[in-house]
Amino acid sequence: MSDIKIGLEIHVHLKTKEKLFCRCAVPTSQTQMNRTICPICTGQPGSKPMLVNKAALQAVTQIALLFNSEISKKMYFQRKHYTWPDMPTGYQRTISGPNVQCNGMGGEFLGIGIEEIHLEEDPAAWDPQTGEINYNRSGMALCEVVTKPEFTSLKKLEEWLKEFILALKYLKILHEFGIKSDVNVSIKESGYSRVEIKNVSSPTNIVKAAQVEIERQRETVKKGDKIKQETRRYNDELETTEFMRSKENAQDYRFTPEPDLPIIEIDNEFIEELKKNLPELAYQKREKYAKYKFDEETIEVLVSNVYLTEIFEFALEKELNPKEVGLFLKREILRILNYHTHDFEELEKRNIKEELITLITLLAKETISYTTAQKILEILYDKKINVEEYIEKNNLKQVQDTSIIVELVQKALKSAPKAVEDYKEGNTKSLNFIVGLVMRETKGTANPQIVNKILLEEVQKL
């Protein structure tokens, strides 16, 4: 029996091209301050929202479908009023609030119940230290996922968040701004008196914030004090939670229907189309790939990125050896990313999937050697090339013709009498030197196993 309860209200930044109610491009972290703005998303007097962005509506519905929520077919936006520098209109438009059908109601994901899923607009980013306001984010589409308070351990919280983020990535709808979450924490010793930690910014911080809040609550009870229902914030530098406001001063959001937007209606066709295209998720792929008997690390690397799973599964369709492909992807892709200190997102941005598939196919068919494949991958990562053309132009096809290899081996043996002598005296390792000579001569395009085999034959003849 566990004695903690944690619930989440997760805000997901959706990766759409445009904002929710205007045509402004959705910013990236590189976008200069206040560059993707217009009268609508800065809430100028007299401005009205445009019709809701359909891509955002689709994304929220996909999440709801993934979590088996009941999908509402008729919804409307409400104005959630509050006064804060990040919201110039004085209200946030949201498909939530009292008496409103959210986009998705109920549901479940990996053992944790879902309360509701809804679409809303992101406020601007306000820096209380400097007073600066960046409106780039203002009006971006957010999906809020409210879970039931069913996390009873930090481990479950951590694992669940990992799979949650992966699911959003598999849907290809997670913006680089990621997620932020309100975290509700309560412990048995206080009779589950609920404390809310506002706006925690990453999965790591969410787990950390829950951990330090549990510790704070336990110590408070130990001292004989009461846990008050209140709202706190997480200070990630000090790794503590700090008091923000008490429940008595809870905000009254005065929800009112948004008169400037029509009722949203979606039909079965819209839902069925999305349902049809729901991806298989990481945890399902993990089970599926288990039959290839990879070590745990290889499986984790493969499923950590939907892009890699696509390449891997394409290779399976082509009946390439799953183990070889999986190991090549794990070893070589990780090697490249580590070298550049990049992450998988960077790999995806390179848009080299087709070429990677060609490269792996040619390696599997032994048209090119492993060393050549490694070198081409390095080049491909730096600059998109046509792999087949590149191999042709630079003469990189693996030398399959054994007569050529025999000739090269004989030549190498002649040029290194010392190594031959050492070998005859029992130093078998000295042959590696000869293999090296042949590989150098063929610029790494000879098959090392064949070279070894022929070398052993030829050296006997001397």
Q: Which residues bind Zn ion (CB under 5 A)?
A: 22, 24, 38, 40-41
CB 174 within 8 A of CB 15: yes
Q: Is 38 exposed, middle or buried (0-12, 13-18, 19+ CB in 10 A)?
A: middle
Residue 34 or 371: the one with the smaller Cβ distance to Zn ion is 34
Q: How far is the CB of 127 from Zn ion (least distance, A)?
A: 21
CB 90 within 8 A of CB 83: yes
Residue 40 or 145: the one with the smaller Cβ distance to Zn ion is 40
Residue 41 or 227: the one with the smaller Cβ distance to Zn ion is 41
CB 188 within 8 A of CB 19: no
β-sheet bridge partners, residue 13: 142
Residue 32 or 428: the one with the smaller Cβ distance to Zn ion is 32
Q: Provide the 10 A C-beta neighbour count for residue 7.
A: 21
Go through the chain and tell me how many residues it has. Answer: 462
Residue 7 or 27: the one with the smaller Cβ distance to Zn ion is 27
Q: How far is the CB of 62 from Zn ion (least distance, A)?
A: 24
Q: How far is the CB of 138 from Zn ion (least distance, A)?
A: 8
CB 169 within 8 A of CB 306: yes
Residue at 305: amino acid letter: N
Residue 33 or 462: the one with the smaller Cβ distance to Zn ion is 33
Q: How far is the CB of 121 from Zn ion (least distance, A)?
A: 11
Q: How far is the CB of 269 from Zn ion (least distance, A)?
A: 30
Q: Provide the 10 A C-beta neighbour count for residue 180.
A: 19
- What DSSP state is assigned to residue 88? T
Residue at 401: amino acid letter: D
Q: How far is the CB of 76 from Zn ion (least distance, A)?
A: 21
CB 54 within 8 A of CB 78: no
List of residues 6+ apart from 31 with CB closer than 8 A: 136
Q: How far is the CB of 85 from Zn ion (least distance, A)?
A: 18
What crossing angle do the helices spanning 402-415 and 431-441 adopt, rounded to 10°? 120
Residue 24 or 64: the one with the smaller Cβ distance to Zn ion is 24
Give the span between the Cα atoms of 355 and 357, in whole angstroms.
5
Q: How far is the CB of 24 from Zn ion (least distance, A)?
A: 3
CB 5 within 8 A of CB 186: yes
Give the span between the Cα atoms of 220 and 214, in whole angstroms.
10
Residue 23 or 365: the one with the smaller Cβ distance to Zn ion is 23
Residue 36 or 447: the one with the smaller Cβ distance to Zn ion is 36
Q: How far is the CB of 207 from Zn ion (least distance, A)?
A: 35
Among residues 103, 67, 63, 61, the alpha carbon closest in space to that of 271 is found at 61
